[in-house]
């Protein structure tokens, strides 16, 4: 749940994060080995990293259930490149391979090619590249890329050749994950900057946002029988952008002028009624209960948003940031209209629908 984790905003962390991100934005994939490539892989087949780089029994216990991706990019805590390396080795033992440049063998290939999380070692990087489940031509590009950047003056670009499947989706979603992480950091930094009274008032706002966010993610990103992909991650980022915009408003960023509040309220009410009508109709048409959004779920969503909006207004009264009640209401209303329109897909409303189209 974004906005619900307290992350460090230290300069050291941000520097480590920037290094990790720059190291990442470009690695590849593919699936068997042949010809010269097989010879190249044979030459590094048994070339393991130094014993001191490998996980100990204590590391395995400490890192049980770890995720090398979140550790490397600092998605849930400040980046820990050493633990990311150890976690990737543990994961690789379980998987035996790996096609994504962000996990298992792929991430280890990056770590040794870039020299972050372990001493730079092109030969060991090639060893892990040969364990990746990727197509022949992609593996060849990876091996050539490792050699090309082995002099240490530049980083081998990690996601550049991720042109299909899971790896492409993960690499495409990476900027969104980074943005989600940064939104959490900003919210934590804002909370830390408040005086005691404001921080006390901010806590209910934080909890209300976390509850609203979780409900929305359950509706939009993890409904039954639907996997998580790039579009879902982007939607999560959009929600984090919403809370980031609210925090910026509390900090004093001016909210752009828009429709007058009565007009916005009419648009919001009409949009909510349209979604509720469609959800009700879908349930009636499908009494077996296969509808992706029920009227009760929509009402729960509305109640969660109203609780968040109320918490924002209560915090505004305590926090002396110059934000007016009308400006805050305008921002929250615009965000809520967009959130309701995002539900059109689930209840089969034409995305171009506007209030008044049904009259």
pLDDT tens-digit map of 173-215: 888 888 888 888 888 889 999 999 899 999 999 999 999 999 9
Q: Which of 57-66, 220-229, 332-341 has the lowest mean pLDDT?
A: 220-229
What are the structure tokens assigned to 358, written together?
A: 């049904």
Which H/E stretch holds residue 100?
none
Q: Which two tokens stand for residue 79?
A: 């980046």
pLDDT at 2 over 80: no
What three-state secondary structure class fits 165? helix
- Predicted TM-score of the model (pTM): 0.68
228's tokens: 């998580």
Arithmetic mean of pLDDT over the chain: 81
State how far the Cα of 22 lies from the Cα of 343, in Å rounded to an integer.
Answer: 35
Q: What is the mean pLDDT of residues 102-125?
A: 90
Greater confidence (173 vs 229) lies with: 173
């Amino acid at each position: 749940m974004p906005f619900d984790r307290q992350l460090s905003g230290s300069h050291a962390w941000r520097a480590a994060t920037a290094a990790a991100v720059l190291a990442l934005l470009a690695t590849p994939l593919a699936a068997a080995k042949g010809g010269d490539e097989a010879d190249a892989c044979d030459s590094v087949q048994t070339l393991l990293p130094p014993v001191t780089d490998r996980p100990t029994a204590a590391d395995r216990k400490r890192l049980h259930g770890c995720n090398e991706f979140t550790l490397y990019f600092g998605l849930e805590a400040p980046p820990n490149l050493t633990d990311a390396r150890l976690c990737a080795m543990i994961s690789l033992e379980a998987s035996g391979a790996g096609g994504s440049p962000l996990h298992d063998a792929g991430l280890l290939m990056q770590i040794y090619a870039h020299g972050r999380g372990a001493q730079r070692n092109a030969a060991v990087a090639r060893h892990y590249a040969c364990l990746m489940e990727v197509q022949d031509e992609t593996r060849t590009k990876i091996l050539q890329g490792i050699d090309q950047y082995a002099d240490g003056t530049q980083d081998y670009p990690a996601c550049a050749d991720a042109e299909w499947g899971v790896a492409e989706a993960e690499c495409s979603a990476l900027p969104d994950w980074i943005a989600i992480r940064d939104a959490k950091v900003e919210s934590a930094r804002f909370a830390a900057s408040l005086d005691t009274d404001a921080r006390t008032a901010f806590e209910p706002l934080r909890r209300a946002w976390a509850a609203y966010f979780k409900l929305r993610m359950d509706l939009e990103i993890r409904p039954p029988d639907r996997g998580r992909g790039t579009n879902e991650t982007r939607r999560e980022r959009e929600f984090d952008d919403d809370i980031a915009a609210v925090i910026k408003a509390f900090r004093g960023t001016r909210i752009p002028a828009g429709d007058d509040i009565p007009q916005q309220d009419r648009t919001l009410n009409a949009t909510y009624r349209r979604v509720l009508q469609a959800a009700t109709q879908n349930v009636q048409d499908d009494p077996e209960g296969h509808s992706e959004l029920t009227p009760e779920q929509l009402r729960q969503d509305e109640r969660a948003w109203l609780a968040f909006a109320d918490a924002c207004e209560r915090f505004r009264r305590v926090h002396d940031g110059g934000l007016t009640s009308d400006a805050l209401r305008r921002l929250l209303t615009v965000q809520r209209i967009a959130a309701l329109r995002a539900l059109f897909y689930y209840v089969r409303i034409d995305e171009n629908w506007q209030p008044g189209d049904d009259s």
